[in-house]
Amino acid sequence: MRKLYANGKLVYDGSVGYRQKGLKFTAYDGRGDQPRDPAMVKEEGADFVSAHRGYLDIVVVDFDIVGYGAPPVFEAEWIQDGATTHDYDIYTTFAGTPNARDLIPVWDQQKLY
């Protein structure tokens, strides 16, 4: 992760070594073997926390929201090293006539896939 913003305000910039005072977070890159986040497990319990494998994820802890008025919206800028290898999931298609239970709705587009 290169940059992290809270309500549009830069709170972390890894390219120049900037981190807002007191900012504590763990960034997960979605690897297939990444563990559950210890802070989330401590708060919610191991049975209720996913490792979020396959997803970019950031866990921010003890963030001081004074001055934000409410918990802020976090946005992150991620970069990918072109020399890095990645695991990919391979999906197969099914043959035959689709059944309603095989379809996924996209409600705002009023479509089924």
**Where are the domains positioned within the chain?**
3-80+87-112
Range in 38-42, 50-54, 101-105 the model is least confident about: 101-105
Return the pLDDT at 109.
77
Region for 100 from its dihedrals, namely left if φ exceeds 0, alpha if ψ lies in -120 to 50, beta otherwise? alpha
Eight-state DSSP code of residue 71: P
Return the pLDDT at 91.
57
Query: Which amino acid, one-letter code, is at 87?
Result: D
- As given in the structure block, the two tokens for residue 34 are 């990444």
Q: Taking CA 59 as the corner, what is the angle to CA 34 and CA 21, rounded to the nearest 5 degrees?
A: 130
| The overall pTM is greater than 0.95 | no
pLDDT of 41-91, one tens digit each? 999 999 999 888 888 899 999 998 888 888 899 999 998 776 656 565 555
Q: 106: pLDDT confidence band, cut at 50, 70 and 90?
A: confident
